[in-house]
C-alpha cells in the first residue's frame, strides 16, 4: 500500500497530511479526535479564552480518546491572538493562564493567528516548555498570508509550521491575501532551507486540490469548510444545509457579519469569508444597520440561513453531503493518493 510522506506527516506522525482548522463555533473535541483517529491532526477552539474553558475542551478530547491524565495529547488548540490581547488589557493573567493551561496539558500544538504581537505568545510557549524541562515540545503554528509575514514568523519567532492562508479561506483572514495558488509558491520560495513546514489553507475541500498545493511545495493542508460539513462539527444544521445548497461563487469576504453582531476589534485588514446572503447584501447596499441587525436576530432565532452568519470558504458548493470526519479524511486520503499516482503517470520515462 503506498504511503503519503511529507514534512508534515513526519513532524506529527500522520498518515494523511490534513489538519482540521481551529474553527470558532465549529471545531469540537469530537471532530479533532475523529480526525486524529483517521490519520490526520485536529485543532480545538475554546469558545472563550479562560483556564476553565480550555481545560474543559481538553478534558473532553482526553475522554474521547481514553487517554490518561498525564499523557501528552495528539491535538492542537487555536488562539485568536487579538482576542488574547484584548482580554489581557483588562487582566493579563486570564489570557496567559488560558495558553498555559493548554501547555500544562501537553497539547501537541498551539495555533496563533491575527494578532498585533504574536511573538510575545510564541515566547511564552517556548519559555514554558523550557522551564518544564521539555524544550520545544509544543509545536507552534502561525497563520500568514504573505511572504513577508512568513519570513518574520520564520526568522524572528522561529515557528514550526506556517499556515499559508489564501484569499479563498472561510472565516477570518487577510482581505488582501493572494489566491492560494500564488501564495504557496511565494512563501515556499522565500523561506530558507530547513525553514518551517508550510501547510496550505483556503478553499481546499478535496484530495485533488490538496495534491495540487503539495505540487507547489506545501506539506499538506489545513481544511476548514469541508469539516464544517462533518457530523462532528458544531455548525448548526441550518448552516450545514446552506453550505450544501449554495453553488460555487456564493461566498464573499466581508465585515458585514462582524459589524452586525458587534464582534469587532480585528487587526486592520482582517475580514471574513462567508455566504453572501441577504444580510451581506443589505449591509453592502447601505440598509439601516438597526434594520439589518433586527433581521440577523430574527433569522438566528428562526434558523433562516439567509439571515444568519454562515462563515464558509470559496469551496462552498463543491461538497453537498455531510459525512463523518473519518469518511472525510479517508476520502481525502484516497483522492490525494490517486492524484499523485495519476500525475506521475503523465511523465514519460523514455
Ligand X SMILES: Cc1cc2nc3c(=O)[nH]c(=O)nc-3n(C[C@H](O)[C@H](O)[C@H](O)COP(=O)(O)O)c2cc1C
Among 9, 32, 45, 280, binds ligand X (CB under 6 A): 45
Residue 168 as a binder of ligand X (CB under 6 A): the answer is yes
Interacting stretch for ligand X, rule CB under 6 A, among 9-17, 22-30, 93-101, 256-264?
A: 22-30
Determine phi and psi for 56, rounding to 5 degrees: -65, -45
Report the residue number, 36 or 112, with the smaller CB distance to ligand X. 112
Q: Which of 124, 82, 81, 118 is nearest to 103 (CA)?
A: 124
For residue 32, the surrounding DSSP H or E stretch is helix 29-37
Position 115 contacts ligand X (CB under 6 A): no
Interface region with ligand X, contact rule CB under 6 A, candidates 23-31, 93-101, 152-160, 341-349: 23-31
Q: Which residue reads 471574513 in cell numbers? A: 272
Specify the stretch interacting with ligand X by CB under 6 A; choose among 54-62, 92-100, 117-125, 310-318.
310-318
The single residue among 8, 19, 26, 161 that binds ligand X, judged by CB under 6 A, is 26
Is the CA virtual torsion 206, 212, 216, 217 positive or negative?
Answer: positive
Q: How far is the CB of 163 from ligand X (least distance, A)?
A: 6
Q: Rule CB under 6 A: say whether 178 interacts with ligand X.
A: no
187 binds ligand X (CB under 6 A): no
Neighbouring C-beta atoms of residue 112, cutoff 10 Å: 25
What are 330's three cell numbers?
A: 479517508
Q: Which is nearer to ligand X, 78 or 220 (CB)?
A: 78
Q: What part of residues 190-209 is at the interface with ligand X (CB under 6 A)?
A: 201-204
Cα–Cα distance, 18 to 8 (Å, whole number): 9
Of the candidate residues 15, 24, 120, 293, the single one contacting ligand X (CB under 6 A):
24
Name the residue nearer to ligand X (CB basis): 287 or 300: 300
Helix boundaries (H) for 105-232? 118-131, 147-155, 180-190, 207-215, 225-228
* Shortest Cβ 43–ligand X spacing (Å): 8
Q: Kindly state the cell numbers that stand for 115.
A: 494578532
Sites for ligand X among residues 212-271 (CB under 6 A): 222-225, 228
Listed residue (258, 263, 272) closest to 169, CA to CA? 272
* Burial bucket for residue 218 (CB in 10 Å: 0-12, 13-18, 19+): buried
- List CB contacts of 256: < 8 A, sequence separation 6 or more: 279, 280, 283, 284
CB 313 to ligand X: min, Å:
2
Q: Which residue has the cell 520564520?
A: 154
Place of cell 518544564: 132
Query: Between residues 39 and 115, which has the closer beta carbon with respect to ligand X?
Result: 115
Residue 22 interacting with ligand X (CB under 6 A): yes
CB of 69 to ligand X, least distance (A): 27
- Pick the closer one to ligand X by CB: 11 or 309: 309
Characterize the bridge pairing of strands 41-44 and 18-20.
Answer: parallel
What is the total count of residues that contact ligand X (CB under 6 A)?
A: 30
Q: Does 332 bind ligand X (CB under 6 A)?
A: no
The C-alpha cell that represents 187 in the structure block: 512563501
Task: Report how far apart, in Å, the C-alpha atoms of 127 and of each of 98, 124, 325 are.
Answer: 15, 5, 35
Does 210 bind ligand X (CB under 6 A)? Our answer is: no
Binding residues for ligand X, per CB under 6 A? 21-26, 45, 78, 80, 113, 143, 165, 168-172, 201-204, 222-225, 228, 311-313, 315
Amino acid at each position: 500500500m503506498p504511503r503519503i510522506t511529507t514534512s508534515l506527516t513526519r513532524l506529527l506522525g500522520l498518515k494523511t497530511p490534513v489538519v482540521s482548522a481551529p474553527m470558532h463555533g465549529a471545531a469540537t473535541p469530537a471532530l479533532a479526535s475523529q480526525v486524529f483517529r483517521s490519520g490526520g491532526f485536529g485543532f480545538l477552539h475554546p469558545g472563550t479564552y479562560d483556564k476553565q474553558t480550555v481545560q474543559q475542551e481538553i478534558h473532553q478530547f482526553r475522554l474521547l480518546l481514553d487517554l490518561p491524565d498525564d499523557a501528552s495529547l495528539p491535538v492542537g488548540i487555536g488562539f485568536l491572538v487579538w482576542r488574547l490581547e484584548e482580554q489581557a488589557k483588562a487582566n493579563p493573567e486570564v489570557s496567559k493562564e488560558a495558553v498555559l493551561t493548554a501547555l500544562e496539558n501537553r497539547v501537541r500544538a498551539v495555533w496563533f493567528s491575527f494578532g498585533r504581537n504574536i511573538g510575545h505568545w510564541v515566547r511564552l510557549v517556548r519559555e514554558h516548555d523550557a522551564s518544564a524541562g521539555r524544550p520545544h515540545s509544543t509545536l507552534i503554528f502561525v497563520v500568514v498570508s504573505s511572504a513577508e509575514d512568513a519570513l518574520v514568523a520564520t526568522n524572528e519567532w522561529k515557528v514550526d509550521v506556517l499556515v499559508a492562508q489564501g484569499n479563498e479561506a472561510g472565516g477570518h483572514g487577510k482581505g488582501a491575501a493572494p489566491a492560494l495558488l500564488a501564495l504557496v509558491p511565494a512563501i515556499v520560495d522565500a523561506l530558507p532551507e530547513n525553514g518551517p513546514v508550510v501547510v496550505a489553507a483556503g478553499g481546499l475541500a478535496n484530495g485533488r486540490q490538496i495534491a495540487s498545493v503539495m505540487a507547489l511545495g506545501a506539506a499538506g493542508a489545513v481544511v476548514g469548510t469541508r469539516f464544517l460539513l462533518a457530523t462532528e462539527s458544531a455548525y448548526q444544521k441550518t448552516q450545514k444545509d446552506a453550505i450544501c445548497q449554495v453553488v460555487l461563487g456564493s461566498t464573499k469576504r466581508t465585515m458585514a457579519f462582524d459589524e452586525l453582531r458587534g464582534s469587532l476589534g480585528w487587526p486592520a485588514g482582517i475580514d471574513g469569508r462567508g455566504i453572501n446572503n441577504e444580510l451581506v447584501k443589505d449591509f453592502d447596499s447601505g440598509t439601516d444597520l438597526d434594520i439589518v441587525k433586527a433581521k440577523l436576530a430574527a433569522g438566528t432565532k428562526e434558523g433562516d440561513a439567509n439571515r444568519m452568519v454562515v462563515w464558509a470558504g470559496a469551496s462552498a458548493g463543491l461538497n453537498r453531503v455531510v459525512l463523518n470526519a473519518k469518511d472525510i479524511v479517508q476520502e481525502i486520503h484516497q483522492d490525494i493518493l490517486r492524484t499523485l499516482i495519476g500525475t506521475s503517470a503523465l511523465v514519460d520515462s523514455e
